[in-house]
A and B are shown apart, each in its own frame.
Chain A
């Protein structure tokens, strides 16, 4: 569609009309082709809505103890049965979803924001700035994430906010390193150079030119990371470090229920399945997004 060929003005109009919102339409078309991705989106949608409105949906108070009905099998009154203290497992799982998703979303958002900012600044300025920031990232990556969080939680104590803090600290460096790599590959492209040539300030170049072009793969990493943060949350709570008692959480449900594994396996199976299904759904979402956003198939995404 070159202006040389188009002699009548109408022809250009048609071409322009066809190509408007070209990319949005292409995405929709790509999503339509993937049934699995659609199912995944719908299920996650239901999950998020259910977690948000847990207070309205849950048939029982998740902490209401009823020792007369402990370790009951599923029935019309308790569709997923009750736990060792007679609490409704469905209600507890639902509220557990709230806790897990809240922690996962906030943690990933914080780690994503901090990581991309650090990675972007390191890549853009290079030199000493890059050296200092990158060594900092290396330092954080040198510890296994879960041990880092464990140590930190041991130090600052349990709680949802502390949990988010501990997980963010163990996650952000992955984002920073990945963002730095992406930004470095783009930094020397001509349009960043021309933005400099046009005399734009550094901050503007980073925010409007470097970030938007480097962020897509990091966004996909973030989606995949939601699953691992849910797992980490459950793991830490299982060890009794993360969430204080009183707040339903899948990991602590398993931790407390493991003693009844033989007599009342539902105590473990229900939250266990919840973790598995949700983590799988987020992983499918991340992989589906990767295909749809057309980041090269051969590209290896760490995490």
Chain B
């Protein structure tokens, strides 16, 4: 009898979702052949925000670690790429995984310190840590100190001879990274660790009493998201070709907007950051003429969603229609005659 049941992840909506996602991957991978330069830049920026928000969602939405200091790792990744390329002669694209490894290595001692703090103190501690990273970066004079530095032309042209090919390479790199991040998160959530994380999201005490090693899983998630965030940061600043402490460790750009995106889309759901990023860029592209008014509206929208629909846009859709884009649900299925 016990062997007769099995766990099903997919639903009809997730089958449709997966088909649409596969189609989107093919179409977007070919974007250099159908899109102009402006499209590629915008898409790469969108991917970077989808990746950052998905990683923050894993950290805060699932593991319950509300960090307001992930800009520490965005900046670290960016600076690591510049340092490796300029001082060690590493190819910029090869420097991206190295930046990710550095993010993971540094996240271990940093996390060990921050994990002594709980709740509010953890959040503030992460921010102070990011400020420490920013101030240290502004002391490193070979990387431009406080005023920042541009990637030398020789290194930029070493990636590819033509400007167009360079833009394609960076585009594909960001695209590959965001797809990897999303696939990794979906696979993680389907694994037994994902079950543990979902349990932590829903009720930490209940998860603990069911035998989940909450502390260890949270720490692993912290280190993994630090690594992913550092890789995204490396590619963001490879695309910008210029880095400075204030842009690299910006709390507004890499934390406030990322939190707004995640909450607007729906925190604690894989679809949330994707929907949220779409809303963020729709607002930005339509209201760009309004200058800083658009940022005020973004803040107001985030507040309104938090107060009126704390599950976000995708939370409303999922509750209303029961949809899921990715096969993450767990249902016990009775054996069919074929299974038996």
Report whether chain A binds chain B: no
Q: Which residues of B contact A (CB under 8 A)?
A: none
